């Protein structure tokens, strides 16, 4: 029986700098298609019609308050998450999540004597890409309208129709 490849550990990079040992948690963006309900004559119920993607956010939570990270508020940056998966078969899975966008909020949390003082950094994601074992699963750029899923640009026809 095969068991799943669990994420055993991960590393995170911000603007090309590794935060190994300082990063506590990473939140990957949810890629979700926005739909509009349509029920035409003769249909038994509404169906969702693809209206583009919903907005995406990503987060990094640090175990300290690095000045360089706090200074990134309002700037365009890149998060790279590298979770390492491994199953009982001993085969590692390479996952690379890349997100680019605007740093919108440093959340410093609350202060309590003898407790951790974490920093959560939020990003309004404009581009995201997922690569697994060298295969690009998706490559999305909200600003240019590119949505490549499984090697197919789902918006190529729309961009062509708009003269782009």
Residue 59: name the closest of 8, 96, 101, 17 by CA: 101
Token code pair at residue 110: 């609350």
Per residue in 4-14, pLDDT (tens digit) is: 888 899 999 99
Domain that holds residue 129: 6-30+52-135
Per residue in 93-117, pLDDT (tens digit) is: 899 999 999 999 999 988 888 888 8
Per residue in 49-86, pLDDT (tens digit) is: 999 999 999 999 999 999 999 999 999 999 999 999 88
**R_g over Cα of the chain:** 19
Residue 3 has pLDDT above 80, yes or no: no
The answer to whether residue 162 is domain-embedded is no
Residues 6+ apart with CB under 8 A from 24: 61, 62, 63, 118
Question: For residue 87, what pLDDT band results from cuts at 50, 70 and 90?
Answer: confident
pLDDT (average), residues 30-57: 96
The answer to whether residue 100 is domain-embedded is yes
How many structural domains is the chain composed of?
1
The answer to whether residue 95 is domain-embedded is yes
Q: What is the DSSP track for 88-103? A: TT--EEEEEEEEEEEE
How confident is the model at residue 1, as a pLDDT? 65
The answer to whether residue 160 is domain-embedded is no
The answer to whether residue 154 is domain-embedded is no
The answer to whether residue 87 is domain-embedded is yes
Q: Is the pTM of this model over 0.95?
A: no
Bridge partner residues of 81 (DSSP) = 12, 97
Per residue in 114-159, pLDDT (tens digit) is: 888 899 999 999 999 999 999 999 999 999 999 999 999 999 999 9
């Amino acid at each position: 029986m095969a068991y799943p490849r669990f994420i055993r550990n991960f590393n995170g990079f911000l603007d090309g700098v590794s935060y190994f040992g300082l990063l506590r948690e990473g939140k990957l963006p949810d890629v979700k298609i926005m739909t509009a309900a349509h029920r035409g004559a003769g249909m038994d119920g509404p169906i969702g019609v693809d209206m583009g993607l919903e907005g995406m956010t990503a987060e990094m939570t640090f175990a300290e308050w690095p000045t360089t990270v706090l200074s990134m508020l309002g700037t365009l940056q890149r998060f790279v998450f590298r979770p390492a998966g491994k199953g009982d078969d001993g085969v590692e899975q390479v996952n690379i999540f890349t997100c680019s966008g605007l740093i919108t909020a440093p959340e410093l949390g609350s202060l309590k004597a003898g407790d951790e003082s974490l920093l959560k950094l939020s990003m309004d994601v404009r581009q995201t890409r997922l690569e697994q074992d060298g295969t690009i699963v998706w490559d999305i750029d909200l600003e240019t309208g590119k949505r490549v899923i499984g090697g197919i640009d789902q918006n190529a026809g729309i961009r062509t129709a708009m003269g782009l």
